[in-house]
Structure formats: structure tokens, C-alpha cells
């Protein structure tokens, strides 16, 4: 299967919550739009290069061991973002990557936004089990 690339918007969730409480203007929300985020069904989480983490002003929350194809390593966990793809969104912590890596959207955010990969069309589609509409299973 080839690569699936999507446009993804990431907003500092702390900024979003402050703006929602009307303590600051929405224009002050730190955000980025990436036109070539890689959908990686083999990854678990949302991972961003460190330079983008810095632009979003995310805070380091801690470190966690992670298994990779190259073995076990320690990865940094950062404060959450609101991730938006095709008018669907989820809130998720961010894992740090070296600056030479692409933005990776893993399986957990995909499930929260109820997307599946269409391997023939190399695109994200709404989950056919839900008629393509955004729905979450709570069981």
C-alpha cells in the first residue's frame, strides 16, 4: 500500500480552552496546518517533529518507553492538541519526533475521528460501518 497524506490542523488545546472561556481571542490560539501529514496505521498516536511542537508551544509532560522497528527507545510526551482532519476533530497528547520526520497520525486519533484508510484510493474515508458518518462506539 502507498502513502496516505492528509491536510491536518493542530491547535494548542490549552489555548483553545482559554479562548472558549472568552479569556483570550481565538486569534491567539497557536495552530498549524500541515498539508502532508502521513496517516500511519502502524503508529498508535499523533507524533510531531520537535520544531512543530515548539511552534505550538506545547509543554513537556514526561517520557515514556516506546517500541519501534529499531528497538525500544524513550519518547517525549507533550501537552495535547486539538487535531482536525476533514472537519472531524479529536483531542490528543503529542509524541515528539526528530525534525527530519513527517507528522504521523496513528490509529488512536483515526479511531477517535472515525476514519479508516481506503487502500485502493489511498485516502481517508468515514468508517463504512457507520455509513461514513462520524460516530463513536462507547462499548
pLDDT tens, position by position, 82-134: 999 999 999 999 999 999 999 999 999 999 999 999 999 999 999 999 999 99
Q: What is the pLDDT of residue 29?
A: 94
Q: What pLDDT was estimated at residue 21?
A: 87
Map out the domains of the chain as residue ranges: 4-130
The predicted pLDDT at position 69 comes to 80
* b/e 36-62 (16+ beta carbons within 10 angstroms → b): ebbbbeebebbbbbeebbeebebeeee
pLDDT at residue number 66 = 86
For the segment 9-62, what is each residue's pLDDT rounded down to a tens digit?
Answer: 999 999 999 998 887 777 789 999 999 999 998 899 999 999 999 999 999 999
**What is the rounded distance in angstroms from the CA atom of residue 111 to the CA atom of residue 116?**
8
List the beta bridge partners of residue 75.
64
3-state secondary structure of 65: strand
When comparing pLDDT for 30 and 70, which is higher? 30
Residue 68 clears pLDDT 90, i.e. is over it: no
pLDDT given for residue 1 in this prediction = 59
In CATH terms, the fold of domain 4-130 is Cathepsin D, subunit A; domain 1 (2.40.70)
Amino acid at each position: 500500500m502507498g502513502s496516505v497524506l492528509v491536510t491536518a490542523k493542530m491547535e494548542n488545546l490549552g489555548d483553545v480552552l482559554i479562548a472558549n472561556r472568552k479569556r483570550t481571542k481565538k486569534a491567539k490560539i497557536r495552530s498549524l496546518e500541515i498539508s502532508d501529514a502521513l496517516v500511519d496505521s502502524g503508529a498508535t498516536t499523533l507524533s510531531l517533529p520537535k520544531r512543530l511542537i515548539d511552534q505550538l508551544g506545547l509543554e513537556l509532560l514526561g517520557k515514556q518507553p516506546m517500541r519501534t522497528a529499531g528497538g525500544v527507545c524513550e519518547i517525549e510526551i507533550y501537552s495535547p492538541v486539538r487535531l482536525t482532519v476533514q472537519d472531524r476533530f479529536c483531542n490528543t497528547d503529542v509524541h515528539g519526533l526528530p525534525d527530519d520526520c513527517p507528522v504521523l497520525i496513528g490509529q488512536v486519533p483515526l479511531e477517535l475521528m472515525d476514519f479508516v484508510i481506503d487502500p485502493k484510493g489511498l485516502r481517508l474515508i468515514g468508517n463504512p460501518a457507520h455509513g461514513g458518518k462520524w460516530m463513536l462506539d462507547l462499548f
